[in-house]
Amino acid sequence: MELNAIENKVLNDLKIKQEETFVKIENGHVIELNLSDKGLPVFPKELVALEKLEKINLSKNKLWNFPLELTQFKHLKEVTISNNKLWELPSEVAEIPSLRVLDLKENELWKLPNSIGRLEKLEVLELGGNPLQELADEVGNLAQLNTLDISTTKLWRLPDTLGKLKSLKRLDLSNNQFKEAPSVIEELSSLEELNLSKNQLWELPDWLENLVKLKTLEASDNKIWGLVDNLKKLTKLSNINLKGNKILNLPNWAKAITKN
């Protein structure tokens, strides 16, 4: 597909190869752009001319600041800006109303702006590998969110508002400081995958039996000494990982679905 003259000049000026690995073109416009691992210290402002852009990958660069230029893309659905040096997420992130995927893994973020809750269409929020000390209450307003990764942070509690995430199917809390599974998880009625590995849990709570759609439970590398029998009520649970705990004997029902 031939690119329109303005966008063609932008890519040529920035020496971006028009190959499928880097660029996807539709109806004469760039809709996907991969600028991963380019050593970028700042966002190239010329890119705002790509007015139909839907997806951009800025991972593995040297960005210290979240590019405010991204708010000018009115069709932007997916932003990957993992493995950079971001220390703050600006409140202006809420000005990307079409955003569905926001990948911020492996940065230096320690908190989120309250405005994060205004991303009404957001479905995937990846925050793993940041030194987050708390999660903004407003995350609970993300009604369309189906995937939340808050692994490898400094979190030890979750806000009560998280229980409003009725569309959430995947929650990753692995490699954190939790001494017990946050009770707010019980309210996540659509949850299918729960990762509690590498925390400091002594037991799995009775209320897990209320997560009737749960298919996968990861709870390896904790201090769990026993398994509550009411988990066998979870008829859709087909995969459970309890390696690296203190459990001596598993009940027969658990052996059939436990990872070796």
Reported as a single tens digit per residue, the pLDDT across 73-83 is: 999 999 999 99
Tell me how far CA of residue 227 lies from CA of 5, 223, 230, in angstroms. Answer: 64, 12, 9
Q: Per 3-state DSSP, what percentage of the chain is helix, strand, and coil (rounded to 5)?
A: 20, 15, 65
Q: With 90 as the cut, is the pLDDT of residue 250 above it?
A: no
pTM above 0.85, yes or no: yes
Reported as a single tens digit per residue, the pLDDT across 37-73 is: 999 999 999 999 999 999 999 999 999 999 999 999 9
Q: Which CATH class is domain 32-255?
A: alpha beta
Question: Edge to edge, what strands does the sheet with 78-80 contain?
Answer: 23-26, 29-34, 55-57, 78-80, 101-103, 124-126, 147-149, 170-172, 193-195, 216-218, 239-241
Model pLDDT, residue 202 = 94
Q: With 90 as the cut, is the pLDDT of residue 85 above it?
A: yes
Q: With 90 as the cut, is the pLDDT of residue 255 above it?
A: no
Position 260 confidence tier, pLDDT thresholds 50, 70, 90: low
Which burial class, exposed, middle or buried, applies to 41 when counting CB atoms under 10 A from its CB (0-12, 13-18, 19+)?
Answer: exposed
Q: With 80 as the cut, is the pLDDT of residue 145 above it?
A: yes
Domain ranges of the chain: 32-255
